[in-house]
A and B are shown apart, each in its own frame.
Chain A
Amino acid sequence: MIAEKYSIKELMAVSCAREIKNGERVFIGIGLPMMSALIAQNTHAKDSIFVYEGGGVGAISRRVPWSIADNPTAENALMIHEMWRLFSDTQAGFIDRGIIGGAQIDKYGNINTTAIFGKGGNYENPKIRLPGSGGANDIGSSTGETTIIMQLEKGKFVEKIDYITTPGHLTGGDARQKAKLVGKGPTSLICQKGIFRFHPQTKEMYLDMLFPGATVDEVKALIDWDVKIADNLKEVDPPLQIHIDIMKKYDPRQIMLGAKSNEEEDFDEFFETMKQAYEEVVLDF
């Protein structure tokens, strides 16, 4: 059943989940990908294994994780590694897909999550300091292929990013292969307007699918280069009701979907919501 009501963020999470194929071993980065992992795990990708930087492998949890080493990344896991061991397994080629976010990106999928230099700024004195790589560089370097999820905004999809935190296809073509990176690099990008993919030869990003209601002109206006559009541009299917239900169940306070409050949060109210949500999850394994 198609969902009657959904937010764009929810559609992003669902679209990202649909990129995950059943049986894949998937390295999940921080943020919305964590929601996508739960959607996939509870619908079409029941045989997939999800791994997190804190070392958890194959967890089955009762809520969405709030960070890469949070309890749900380890709850009912198959095993728990040290961080260096899990990344070594990734570098050794055991992980099929990585899902990561980004703040700034170029047409070849190179990602910046380190700093926006701004006018007159530089690395030492940036306009906006960002978190840094975390594990994004390692996930982007060595998982079989990567899916990127980020907001499409003016100034974010640019000709030249300020700092390459995570390598995509570098200068395009076979540049990445020549650099001898382990993984094949980005193959898809989800944003709030649609889905981009990367051309098999040139490795340039192109618009492959639009979200319902979004337009090509709108997308083009937000991208600094003359972005290519697929000949047979398709529309993304809306989420199913089950997808929305899963998100509500695992994130009852909508923390991953961006609910921010300017008021002091009441502990007891929070606690009761989470307790109830935990009780409703049936651990079926």
Chain B
Amino acid sequence: MRSDKDKQTSLQEAVKTYLPNGSSMSFGGLGARDPFAVLYEIIRQGAKDLTLMTTSIMDIGNILIGAGCVRKVEGAYVWIGSVGSGLNYRRAVEKGVPVKIEIEEYSNYSASLRFLAASMNIPFMATKSLIGSDIPKYNDKIKLIDDPFTNEPVALVSAASPDVVFIHVQKADTAGNGQIWGILMNDPTLARAAKKVVLTCEEIVSTREIRKLPNLTAIPAYCVDAVVEIPFCSHPMWTAGYYWCDLPFRRNFMLYNKTQEGFEKWLKEWVLDIKDWNAFLNKIGKDRLEKLAKMERDNYNIPVLAYEGGAKR
């Protein structure tokens, strides 16, 4: 049983404890709240043979694949959004570089429904997506059937329960009540679908503060196994109310990413030769991080409650 006492731990310890080689795993966020600090620690610890369960994933998926940590992707989309092509994904699928990966293909909705089924503790969900496409043709885990009630065609997808999911949120208490502001992706559902949940947050706050805005609590402590406070965890992506996105960092990554050698050079400089997240943030520089934080706060801030004792910031 997960007890709701202090679940705080270090990032190193959380990855070591909850992500043995061969695990199936997932990340929260997408283009926002992506847990980059966790990604880099996973790579530093040399994870192998992971199954990445996802809907859409961008830079973190590509980097994890390029680092050779992934054996299989169960999901709908791996790319770099509008910033560039998912060249690590391409190299892995087309050439087996650095590791040949297997793909179990879905659409975003059907991949979401797999997590929803797991979160409800039922074996499958039905959808009217996928019909008429080749997605079921190349994925024998999708069943096209005639609905026994109406006889109309419907696609069934099985529940997906990752061994562990890493989700970054704005605020959490030490028990793991996690509050999200801005985009959700499937994170509240993912937290309930996964066997273990590692919650990272920008700020640890008191349970008293959590209680002021309970509607923001997307992830209840009873789902959560470990809590780690990691400021700027999503750099170079954005965390609503905390900091803006560092697009030049992503675009400069793309210059290196054109070849596997270039990618490995980037990985050495920004991940393997870096001791930990604090060292990474020092390398980015305080001035740059402060600019990103100010830009976000000037434009998009979590509203302060009007009444006395409202959320500070």
Q: State the CA gap A221–B23 with chains docked (Å).
A: 50
B81 touches A67 (CB 8 A): yes
From 89 to 119 in chain B, residues with beta carbon under 8 angstroms from any chain A beta carbon are 89-90, 93-94, 103, 105-110, 112-113, 115-116
A135 touches B76 (CB 8 A): yes
One of B128, B255, B300 near A71 (C-beta < 8 A): B300
Q: State the CA gap A227–B132 with chains docked (Å).
A: 24
Residues of A within 8 A of B249 (CB): 267
B183 touches A80 (CB 8 A): yes
A98 CB → nearest B CB, Å: 12
Given contacts A55-B185, A164-B132, A164-B134, whether A137 and B107 have CB atoms under 8 Å apart is yes
Q: Of the listed stretches B3-11, B238-246, B269-277, name the one at the interface; the rest are far from the partner chain.
A: B238-246
Given contacts A126-B93, A167-B131, A270-B247, whether A132 and B75 have CB atoms under 8 Å apart is yes
B-facing mask of A178-198, CB < 8 A → 1, else 0?
Answer: 011110000000000000000
Residues of A within 8 A of B56 (CB): 53, 68, 134-135
Of A54, A255, A274, the most chain B CB neighbours within 10 A belong to A54
Given contacts A129-B94, A133-B108, A167-B131, whether A275 and B183 have CB atoms under 8 Å apart is no
Q: State the CA gap A104–B256 with chains docked (Å).
A: 28
From 240 to 285 in chain A, residues with beta carbon under 8 angstroms from any chain B beta carbon are 255-256, 260-267, 270-271, 274-275, 278
B-facing mask of A202-243, CB < 8 A → 1, else 0?
Answer: 000000000000000000000000000000000000000000
A165 touches B153 (CB 8 A): no
Given contacts A68-B30, A137-B135, whether A270 and B248 have CB atoms under 8 Å apart is yes
Residues of B within 8 A of A55 (CB): 183-185
B144 CB → nearest A CB, Å: 10
Q: State the CA gap A87–B115 with chains docked (Å).
A: 14
Residues of B within 8 A of A164 (CB): 132-134
Which B residue's beta carbon lies closest to that of A31? B82
One of A71, A87, A266 near B109 (C-beta < 8 A): A87
B122 on the interface (CB 8 Å rule)?
no
Q: State the CA gap A123–B249 with chains docked (Å).
A: 33
Given contacts A131-B77, A165-B133, whether A84 and B183 have CB atoms under 8 Å apart is no
B83 on the interface (CB 8 Å rule)?
yes
B186 touches A83 (CB 8 A): yes
A62 on the interface (CB 8 Å rule)?
yes
Count residues of A near B (Cβ-Cβ below 8 Å): 70
From 119 to 176 in chain B, residues with beta carbon under 8 angstroms from any chain A beta carbon are 127-135, 138, 152-153
B295 on the interface (CB 8 Å rule)?
yes
Residues of B within 8 A of A165 (CB): 133-135
A94 on the interface (CB 8 Å rule)?
no
B24 on the interface (CB 8 Å rule)?
no
A54 touches B183 (CB 8 A): yes
Q: State the CA gap A148–B272 with chains docked (Å).
A: 42
Q: State the CA gap A197–B292 with chains docked (Å).
A: 44
From 55 to 101 in chain A, residues with beta carbon under 8 angstroms from any chain B beta carbon are 55-56, 62, 66-71, 73-75, 80-84, 87-88, 90-91
A132 touches B77 (CB 8 A): yes
Residues of A within 8 A of B291 (CB): 271
A141 on the interface (CB 8 Å rule)?
yes
Given contacts A70-B32, A91-B109, A278-B299, whether A133 and B128 have CB atoms under 8 Å apart is no
A68 touches B112 (CB 8 A): no
B-facing mask of A31-51, CB < 8 A → 1, else 0?
Answer: 100100000000000000000
B188 on the interface (CB 8 Å rule)?
yes
A69 touches B108 (CB 8 A): no
A69 touches B30 (CB 8 A): yes
B184 CB → nearest A CB, Å: 5
B78 on the interface (CB 8 Å rule)?
yes
Which B residue's beta carbon lies closest to that of A137? B107
B189 on the interface (CB 8 Å rule)?
yes
Q: State the CA gap A71–B288 with chains docked (Å).
A: 19
A136 on the interface (CB 8 Å rule)?
yes
A114 on the interface (CB 8 Å rule)?
yes
Residues of A within 8 A of B36 (CB): none
A247 CB → nearest B CB, Å: 14
Which B residue's beta carbon lies closest to that of A168? B132
B160 CB → nearest A CB, Å: 12
B55 touches A83 (CB 8 A): yes
One of B105, B129, B184, B299 near A82 (C-beta < 8 A): B184
Given A68-B30, A74-B182, A138-B107, 17 more A-B residue pairs with CB atoms under 8 Å apart are: A54-B30, A71-B300, A73-B183, A83-B186, A87-B112, A87-B129, A91-B109, A125-B94, A132-B78, A137-B135, A165-B134, A181-B132, A255-B247, A263-B255, A265-B247, A265-B252, A271-B291
Task: Please report B residues at the A interface, Cβ cutoff 8 Å.
Answer: 29-32, 55-56, 58, 75-79, 81-84, 86, 89-90, 93-94, 103, 105-110, 112-113, 115-116, 127-135, 138, 152-153, 182-189, 238, 240, 244-249, 251-252, 255, 288, 291, 295, 299-300
24 sample A-B contacts, Cβ–Cβ < 8 Å, listed by A number: A54-B30, A66-B31, A66-B82, A66-B247, A67-B31, A67-B82, A70-B245, A74-B183, A88-B109, A91-B128, A127-B94, A128-B94, A129-B89, A134-B56, A135-B108, A137-B135, A138-B108, A164-B134, A176-B132, A181-B131, A264-B255, A266-B248, A271-B295, A278-B295
